Amino acid sequence: MSQISLFSPIQLGRVPLENRMVMAPMTRNRAEQGNVAGAMMAKYYRQRATAGLIITEGSQISPQGVGYPATPGIHNEAQVAGWRKVTDAVHDAGGRIFIQLWHVGRISHPSLQPDGAPPVAPSAVKPAGEAYTYEGLQPFVTPRALETDEIRAIVAQYAQAAKNAQAAGFDGAEIHAANGYLIDQFLRDRTNQRNDEYGGSLESRLRFLTEVVEAVIQAWSPGHVGVRLSPENSFNDMADSDPQTTFNNACEKLGKYGLAYLHMLEGEMLSAERKLDYRQFIDRFGGTYMANNGYTKQTAQQALEEHRADLIAFGIPFLANPDLVERFRQDGPLNEADQSTFYGGDEHGYTDYPFLDKAQALTG
């Protein structure tokens, strides 16, 4: 039997992939007016279409879900049309692309919210830190705790966003339940201090996640839907008193839906250290597992060989190397990422990173 490698094909739910290298979702703040994906974004994603799968940057399911300037949405006709240009470009280049469905919850600011309203959250717990706004960094505010009927309305917004993503030509959707945004805020007990059906017990804290998943797979199908989790990531002032138990239970529940994959940010976002037992998460989910955080070609290949992952997501390496698959295949040099251009700006640091043949010509 041939050895599995990063370049081996895989069937991802209902979607066949040519290799196991995934472009991770990365906020780039290049959306046009109205939070619409434009031509520059279409070029950016097309350049990276040799990835087995592209997962887009987070895309808001509603105006209330916005947490950063110039981030794309998927809740109106103009946004659907903008994303259609992106999916057409990626498909024309032979790629596969999922959209990441996003609601930031408390990680926002009144200046980014409809009518200047406070951001919403499971509970009125103010995050430490500052919000990115059009006027620069501003202190986070105390969010407003959602009413029960509002939570059910947000679940319906996820379902509609999935339908919009289908209309925009995506191959599937990833539910963003990680990194301190709304679903993660319901999962972890630092931010969920409710005592109703959506909080208190672990079972209740998991309810919002499972209702969103059920709504999205009903709108599309399980084989076109993935979920992203981040059990020990403290980004956005997050924590849980017992993350192993919380996320063991989350993974077990998710494993019952026949999802395309589980996308796991392992450890802290800015650290390769893993303190939790990820094998427990893998075993409880029981399906296709996508590992993410600090992987190199060598450590990714090792994870595949040791059955610690079926797919590996790469972030900054794909940001700076649109042809990362070919560079890995040839053991070629990697472009260095320009961090000053990560968030916002023009094509510089976005669509102008050289491909391997051009880089070789420049250094040859």
Per-residue pLDDT tens, the chain, 364 aa: give them.
458 999 999 999 999 999 999 999 999 999 999 999 999 999 999 999 999 999 999 999 999 999 999 999 999 999 999 999 999 999 999 999 999 999 999 999 999 999 999 999 999 999 999 999 999 999 999 999 999 999 999 999 999 999 999 999 999 999 999 999 999 999 999 999 999 999 999 999 999 999 999 999 999 999 999 999 999 999 999 999 999 999 999 999 999 999 999 999 999 987 878 999 999 999 999 999 999 999 999 999 999 999 999 999 999 999 999 999 999 999 999 999 999 999 999 999 999 999 998 654 444 3
Please, are residues 236 and 189 in contact by the beta-carbon 8 Å criterion? no
Q: Tell me the average pLDDT of the chain.
A: 96
Positive or negative CA dihedral for 99, 102, 107, 109? positive
Cα–Cα nearest to 33, from 62, 69, 84, 87? 69
Q: Which pLDDT does position 357 carry in this prediction? A: 81
Q: Is 311 helix (H, G, I), strand (E, B) or coil?
A: strand
CATH for 10-363, among 3.20.20.70, 3.30.70.141, 3.30.70.360, 3.40.50.620?
A: 3.20.20.70
Q: What is the pLDDT of residue 363?
A: 41
pLDDT for residue 358: 64
Instruction: Write out the DSSP string of 190-205.
Output: TT----STTSSSHHHH
In this predicted structure, what is the pLDDT of residue 2? 56
The residue ranges of every structural domain in the chain are 10-363
Q: What is the DSSP string of 220-288?
A: S-GGGEEEEE-TT--TTT---S-HHHHHHHHHHHHTTTT-SEEEEE-S-TT-----S-HHHHHHHH-S-
- Strand ranges (E), 127-207: 130-133, 136-139, 144-145, 172-176
Q: For the segment 163-221, what is each residue's pLDDT rounded down to a tens digit?
A: 999 999 999 999 999 999 999 999 999 999 999 999 999 999 999 999 999 999 999 99
Segment holding 55, helix H or strand E: strand 53-60
Give me 289's structure tokens.
């597992």
- Given a contact cutoff of 8 angstroms between Cβ atoms, the answer to whether 325 and 21 are in contact is yes
pTM over 0.85: yes
The CB-side HSE value for 311 (13 A sphere, CA atoms) comes to 32
Q: Active-site residues: which are they?
A: 181
pLDDT per residue as tens digits for the range 34-77: 999 999 999 999 999 999 999 999 999 999 999 999 999 999 99
Joined tokens for residue 13: 């739910």
Residue 238 confidence (pLDDT) = 97
